[in-house]
């Protein structure tokens, strides 16, 4: 098994362990690991790994 297969398996297993909000949580994890010089949590949302798709999927705010 090469290192890319191991990474792919790790990412798949990690994704499967998440319960709710799998996609958003996984994207946030990718953003945290790849974003340099983030000064706040909001900076992670600017990462190309964090897609802003919740509104397009019918997400409705709680108010």
Residues written for the chain = 63
Full-prediction pTM beyond 0.75? no
Token output for 59: 């997400």
Q: What is the pLDDT of residues 1-23, one digit of tens each?
A: 788 899 899 989 998 998 888 88
Positive/negative CA dihedral, 33, 20, 63, 53? positive
CA 59 to chain centre: 17
Burial of 31 (0-12, 13-18, 19+ CB in 10 A): buried
Neighbouring CB atoms inside 10 A of 44's CB total 19
> Residue 57 — pLDDT band, cuts 50, 70, 90?
low
Hey, what are 58's tokens? 């019918």
* pLDDT for the residue numbered 9: 92
Quote the pLDDT of residue 53: 60
């Amino acid at each position: 098994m090469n290192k890319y297969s191991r990474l792919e398996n790790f990412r798949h297993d990690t994704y499967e362990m998440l319960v709710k909000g799998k996609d958003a949580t996984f994207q946030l994890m990718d953003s945290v690991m790849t974003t340099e010089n983030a000064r706040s949590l909001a900076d992670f949302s600017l990462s190309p790994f964090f897609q802003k798709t919740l509104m397009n999927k019918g997400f409705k705010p709680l108010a």
